[in-house]
Amino acid sequence: MKLTKYMMALTVSAGLLIPSFHTTALAAGDTQTVQQGEYKKDELVVQWKAYVSPAQRAAVFQKWNMQEAYYISKNNYSVIKIKGGQSVPALIARLVQQEQVLKVEPNYKLKQMYVFTDPYAAKQWHLAKLNLPKAWDVTKGSSEIKVALIDGAVQTNHPDLAGRFTGAYDVVSKSAVLPAADDHGTHVAGIVGAAGDGKGIVGIAPGVKLMPINVFYEDGYTSAAEVASAIMYAADHGANVINMSLGGYEYSSLMNSAVQYAASKGVVVVAAAGNEETSQPMYPAALSNVISVSAVTSSDRLAYFSNYGSTIDFAAPGDGIFSTIAGGAYASMSGTSMAAPMVSGTAALVLSRNPFLTPSQVYSRLKASALDLGAAGRDIYYGEGRIDAYKAVSLTPAPLTGFTVSTSRLVTDGRSSASITFQPYGSMDAAIYVTDAAGKTVRTLFSKHVTTEKIAASWDGKLTDGTYAKPGEYKVNLKVTNGKQTLTKSSALTVAAPAPSLKLSASQLLMNGVNKVKISFQKYSTMTASILVKDSSGSTVRTLAVQPGGTGSGTVYWEGKNSSQRFVKPGTYRVYVKITDGKRSFTQEVPLKAVSK
């Protein structure tokens, strides 16, 4: 089975962050004019003085023919709608003179902060089509995400690609040294991940790493065996996405086996649908667990050359795409070869947002965000629709949300506990564990593979051996991993010893044979409580009770007699309680003055 590269035609640029506006609020009594930034012509923002009531605000609105759009209680702000075509600067000048007003400012407009500075950005029509400038405000791609390019050899020292690569491999020579650079492979690489550093163009995901894998011989052909080897190499070397801008019309069980292996390792596999205006399935694009991509023009019409059919999953720009080529140059190319890396790059952005997503979850994000073209719903030309990078990353949930520990202080009394919750989204092995001040793990509370269900655990203060943790500083930690990426969160927790909470009904006891002092204390699960009376020298004069474990309050009485049932001498004594589980103990003493009748 021979597989070929899809021919193509070419055009693009990147950017930097710049401020797009400035504001100055006017305080009461100011005469400064409104600055030149763009602002909404029918709105104002007013900050009121702290004492101003809703009724007083309403009076100002009525006086100046305004309406409150909404009120922001934090620091007393109102967003106000202006009626009657009044001038914003003129109305500000009036409002700042009002006694109730602290500050007034226009409701300034904000622009996107990412702009292109690459000289060829204007030639990359697909950047705006896929909403990439807005997508890059969310993520430009993580260097932890790897996109394998199973294609011709890439010029790894191209000015727009240098430093972007990891794990290069030549299947033909079984070497890490790539052969002479290929226009097609270099073009695909630029579409996915050109650096966007002001030198030429910008890729879909300029922050990710590229893994170039050459599978083509000098005659421009490869085979199912080489492609299958490349797929397995990519899967075994940490690729998150595989792009294949190649194909043939013969089904290969070997290539299918390699694709299913990659899918089982969580790799998103993308392939071009072909350029021969046919509905005949092209492989590997038509295989299960492969995203098949057709090509559209700048007007979102199916490109004349693009294959179509029931196996098409998504459409992407593929007509006149400008990108890098060998020799440090640039050119326009057309083909589904150019459309596939658009989807691969977008998938890489989605995984940069949440690297724990499964291939099916990535697909669902692409589907939910795609622009439906052609017939309503999925169709044979555009599949689920034309991808939209910004919507795709915007609809991608974070891998972890809602990580909370219910308390920052835990008393190890056998009845208190800290509740831990978090919400995962993806496919990950999760562990919740407690570490001491030295970073040593003292208890694992949860260890399980999770996907999207809300997780809850708790810690009662016990260590792995069943004993209670010593008082001190600890951390509750959450760690998730999918074998490629790892994410951790932690929350500080102070462990405190339980206090017996000893209380006396009086601070003085009249020893007359009638009066008694009521002694109350707190008992804890699994702990024994001993209540003693000690004299000024610390000697025990009476053991009042020894009560076994059990949570609840305890009560005993003392009439002033010692262990021989004789009244003690007048003086100051101490009521002493000790609770213990045999491995740790906690004590408390309260003074009591004994007087004779």
Residues 597 and 572: beta-carbon distance below 8 Å: no
Tell me the per-residue pLDDT of 130-163, one tens digit each, with 9 for 90 and over.
999 999 999 999 999 999 999 999 999 999 999 9
pLDDT above 70: residue 21: no
The pLDDT score that the predictor gives to residue 17 is 21
**pLDDT-based confidence at 11, cuts 50/70/90?**
very low
Higher pLDDT, 417 or 22: 417
Instruction: Look at phi and psi of residue 565 and say left if phi exceeds 0, alpha if psi is from -120 to 50, else beta.
Output: left
- Structure tokens that stand for 397 in this block: 């949930």
**7: nearest Cα among 334, 343, 344, 340:** 334
DSSP 152-170: SPP-TT-TTTTT-B-S-EE
**pLDDT higher than 50, residue 123:** yes
Taking residue 97's Cβ as centre, other Cβ atoms within 10 Å add up to 11
Evaluate if residue 557 carries a pLDDT over 90: yes
Q: pLDDT at position 30, please?
A: 37
Q: Confidence band (pLDDT; 50, 70, 90) for 88?
A: confident
Q: Is the pLDDT of residue 24 over 50?
A: no
What average pLDDT does the segment 180-202 reach? 91
Say whether pLDDT at 31 is over 70. no
595: pLDDT strictly greater than 50: yes
Query: Looking at residue 551, what is its pLDDT?
Result: 67
The predicted structure's pLDDT at residue 4: 61
Residues annotated as part of the active site: 151, 184, 337
Distance CA 557, CA 544 (A): 8
In this predicted structure, the answer to whether residue 7 has a pLDDT above a threshold of 60 is no
Q: How confident is the model at residue 343 (pLDDT cuts 50, 70, 90)?
A: very high
Least confident of 241-250, 428-437, 518-527: 518-527
Confidence class for position 397, pLDDT limits 50, 70, 90: very high
Q: Residue 135: its pLDDT value, please?
A: 96
- Among positive and negative, which fits the CA dihedral 482, 485, 491, 492? positive
| pLDDT for residue 347 | 98
Determine the pLDDT at residue 218.
85
Sign of CA dihedral 361, 366, 372, 378: negative
Domains of the chain by start residue, with CATH: 26-108 (3.30.70.80), 116-394 (3.40.50.200), 400-496 (2.60.40.2550), 503-596 (2.60.40.2550)
Q: What percentage of the chain reaches a pLDDT higher than 70?
A: 91
CA nearest to 161, candidates 127, 134, 136, 189: 189
- Flag whether pLDDT at 369 surpasses 90: yes
Sequence-separated (6 or more) residues with CB below 8 Å from residue 19: 113
Kindly tell me if the per-residue pLDDT of 392 is higher than 90.
Answer: yes
- Residue 90 has a pLDDT of 84
pLDDT higher than threshold 90 for residue 122: no
| Residue whose pair of structure tokens reads 């890059």 in the numeric block | 136
**Structure tokens, 483:** 């074998």
* pLDDT, tens only, 57-80: 888 888 888 888 878 776 788 888
Q: What is the mean pLDDT of residues 352-358?
A: 96
Check residues 565 and 122 and name the one with the higher pLDDT.
Answer: 565
- Tell me the three state secondary structure of residue 246: strand
The region of weakest confidence among 93-97, 336-340, 587-591 is 93-97
Angle (CA) 346 350 352, round 5°: 110
Q: Is the pLDDT of residue 355 over 70?
A: yes
Q: How confident is the model at residue 3 (pLDDT cuts 50, 70, 90)?
A: low
- 347 in helix, strand or coil? helix
The confidence band for 271, taking pLDDT boundaries of 50, 70 and 90, is: very high
pLDDT at 15 over 60: no
Average pLDDT over residues 51-61: 87
Per-residue confidence band for 9, with pLDDT thresholds at 50, 70 and 90: very low
Q: How far apart are CA 371 and CA 373, in angstroms?
A: 6
Range from 278-292, 376-390, 399-413, 516-530 carrying the lowest mean pLDDT: 516-530
Phi and psi (nearest 5°) for 454? -70, 135
Note the pLDDT of residue 35: 45
Confidence (pLDDT) at 10: 27
pLDDT for position 128: 94
pLDDT (tens digit per residue) in 451-493: 999 999 999 999 999 888 988 999 999 999 998 899 999 999 9
Q: How many residues does the structure list for the chain? A: 597
Q: With cut-offs at 50, 70 and 90, classify the pLDDT of residue 92.
A: confident
Confidence of residue 587 (pLDDT cuts 50, 70, 90): confident
Average pLDDT, the chain: 87
Task: Among 93-107, 170-184, 284-298, name the one with the lowest average pLDDT.
Answer: 93-107
pLDDT at 96: 86
pLDDT at 36: 47
Q: Regarding predicted confidence, which is higher, 439 or 18?
A: 439
Q: What is the predicted pLDDT for the residue at 2? A: 54
- Interior angle at CA 437, CA 434 and CA 441, nearest 5: 35
Average pLDDT over residues 316-328: 95
Q: How far, in whole angstroms, is CA 564 from its chain's centroid?
A: 70
From CA 272, how far away is CA 571, in angstroms rounded?
96
Least confident window among 277-286, 442-451, 541-550, 558-567: 541-550
Alpha carbon distance 60, 44 (integer Å): 13
Instruction: Measure the CA–CA gap between 353 and 374, rounded to whole angstroms.
Output: 30
